[in-house]
Amino acid sequence: MEEIKMPLIGDEFPKVTVQTTHGIKKLPDEYKGKWFILFSHPADFTPVCTTEFYAFQKRYDEFKKHNCELIGLSVDQVFSHIKWIEWIQDHLKLEITFPIIADTGKIANILGLIHPNKGTNTVRAVFIVDPKGIIRAMLYYPQELGRNMDEILRMIKGFQTSEAHGVAIPANWPNNELVKDGVIIPPASDVKTAKKRQKEYTCYDWWFCHKKI
């Protein structure tokens, strides 16, 4: 049997056809030219997952402002997904408007979403994929710990800022303890550039310079 290699950061997102609450979709082609976040959850009709879907939906417009779509996934039938999002709308007064993949286990296996030491359900994985279909980040959480959607949104903003300005993003950006909402200038690669750095930017040293954008 051919061994399935779990995708890594920098890899192309695997080409898969999926059944969703919005019909059949082909990934990553469905979101060509857009960022997208595929996130898995352990199961429908569970409390932590419900809080996560509510939180994602509350921020969905903000994700879309940054050219980013959301798509969920669990090893549940599409009928279960539909009933669950109906429950969320009826009881929590919020319509889930992004699609949810109904997986048989095939996609979870391809993406490495089932971790045997944490049971047979999918863990809380997050794949951030860029407009070219390249995986830019992966996050994994156990079933008992819900995700922070503001951090995931921050990552999208950080990636886009990094690409637009050719910079790196500091810890806790845009509220970094050292450079505030500034961004990091890539380290100099030669002596001449290193000498110029402290005249061009605000620096702690030639290898640690930052600027506002």
Q: Which CATH number goes with the domain that contains 212?
A: 3.30.1020.10
> E strands along the chain, which residues?
16-20, 23-27, 35-40, 68-74, 100-102, 124-129, 135-141, 183-184, 202-205, 208-211
Looking at the structure, tell me whether residues 127 and 175 fall in a common domain: no
Domain-embedded: residue 88:
yes
125 and 66 belong to one structural domain: yes
Burial class (CB in 10 A: 0-12, 13-18, 19+), 176: middle
As a residue count, the chain comes to 213
- Residue 40 and residue 115 share a domain: yes
Residue 114 inside a domain? The answer is: yes
Annotated catalytic residue 203 = no
Are the beta carbons of 80 and 72 closer than 8 angstroms? no
Number of domains in the chain: 2
Same domain, 22 and 114: yes
Q: Each residue of 168-192: pLDDT tens digit?
A: 999 999 999 999 999 999 988 899 9
Q: Is the dihedral of CA 55, 61, 67, 71 positive or negative?
A: positive
Residue 2: the pLDDT is 44
Rounded to a whole number of angstroms, the distance between the first and last alpha carbons of the chain is: 51
Kindly report the CATH number assigned to the domain that includes residue 95.
Answer: 3.40.30.10
- Between CA 32 and CA 24 the distance in angstroms is 16
Percent of the chain with pLDDT over 70: 97
- What are 80-94's pLDDT values in tens digits? 999 999 999 999 999
What distance separates the 2 farthest-apart alpha carbons in the chain? 64
Range of the domain at 199: 166-213
CB 195 within 8 A of CB 206: yes
On average, the pLDDT of the chain sits at: 93
Q: What band does 4 get if pLDDT is binned at 50, 70 and 90?
A: low
Which pLDDT score, from 0 to 100, does residue 162 have?
98
**Domain end among 112, 147, 182:** 147
Question: Is 177 a member of any domain?
Answer: yes
Residue 141 confidence (pLDDT) above 60: yes
In terms of pTM, does the model score above 0.95? no
79 is a domain residue: yes
Is 160 a residue whose pLDDT tops 70? yes
Q: How confident is the model at residue 3 (pLDDT cuts 50, 70, 90)?
A: very low
Q: Is residue 90 part of a domain?
A: yes
The confidence score (pLDDT) of residue 20 equals 97
Average pLDDT over residues 117-144: 89
Among 49, 68, 203, 209, the one annotated catalytic: 49
Q: Are residues 43 and 112 in the same domain?
A: yes
Query: pLDDT, tens digit, for every residue of 30-51?
Result: 999 999 999 999 889 999 999 9
